[in-house]
Structure 1
């Protein structure tokens, strides 16, 4: 289970915190968790997902070994300790029957991005988007 402790530090710290928020506020139907962009419904399925995801996060040997598994499974992932984003994608892909029926991964749009990384791609994005999606004056 994802519990608050010093072992789930760094980017992994959000998992136990979001779990605790979900349990303490069952009246809230949506909680946004930023792991790029991530929306999580407050329900048992989401709690189960957090519980399956969190065991790859404790600092030390567990995180290092999980990182090796992720690097071996995810094409193009460099070798380093397990991170929350790679671990989530690994879970969704390796256990499709369990998770993917109720998950949606958006890959066609930037739902989150720092302006500096996007500004250089602006012209290319405008050219690649169908004219039906761009206003006459060039605005999206």
Structure 2
């Protein structure tokens, strides 16, 4: 059994479109879980008052492990990540084969040779519900805001990963640091680079095409599109992107995924930028008779 865990902040979004985009992104995850028979938990409170921002996910994941002892895997997915292949199944056999307990999108060469803080991305990860994972989350969290050495950990991370852009310790670089320092973790952590376990939206969004009139695929859909730097709730998007490109990109991703769901009911969005309009699908129509 898999439990997907996601969440957002407890307060309303400052960006006028933010709450709408978060709702659509949550619906996207619920649709995927419904199709594949997964449970889903959406959290919007700080379970540990000192674990804020990107660190807030770790107390939630650990709480989900304790609340769902029947679950073999807990699957964390950031609120600004959109599942864009609704049919793809997680390759659990790949992670079970050699007993891996954590799967995260990343590249060993970038960790061990280039020492880059972008060598993996912690916005999406799959973690086995076991004691090893709980102990590992504790070690990971101890580099975060609950640590009395939080400032020191930031300095250590920047000393090792020279391309790190900001001084404070963050969850992603902390995870990379743990892997970099202890190569024995490669027996338990699978760095996934064989499919889009988490793909960068700037590269992916231009590849979408509207499947309204075509049910045959000649390429593999990206599994998850992550809108890194867009900040849909606060609106404080990375200035290298135009605000419009962020929101339009999210709409395209959401409607691209929604079409895969709606098509089973006989409808599609003909325009990926128009969420309101649907037309009859050319295939899989549920009722050929009169309404």
TM-score (norm 1): 0.73
Return the match for 2:158 from 71, 78, 81: 71
Question: Number of aligned pairs?
Answer: 121
- Deviations, residues 67-113 of structure 1 (Å, cap 9, x unaligned): 1111112242224211111111111111222x221111123543223
Q: Alpha carbons of 1:63 and 1:25: their partners in 2 closer, same or farther (altered >3 Å)? A: same
- Deviations, residues 28-75 of structure 1 (Å, cap 9, x unaligned): 111101333210000011011101000111169633321111111224
Q: 2:219 is matched with which residue?
A: 139
Q: Which moved more, 1:23-32 or 1:63-72?
A: 63-72
Q: 1:132 is matched with which residue?
A: none
Cα contact 1:9–1:59 (8 A) shared by 2: no
Cα contact 1:7–1:57 (8 A) shared by 2: no
Cα contact 1:8–1:58 (8 A) shared by 2: yes
Richer in helix (by share): 1
Q: 2:225 is matched with which residue?
A: none
Structure 1: which 4+ aligned runs deviate by more than 6 Å? none
After TM superposition, list the pairs within 5 Å mapping 1:30-69 onto structure 2. 30-34=73-77, 35-58=122-145, 62-69=149-156
- Structure with higher Rg: it is 2
Q: Does 1:104 align with 2:190?
A: yes
TM-score (norm 2): 0.38
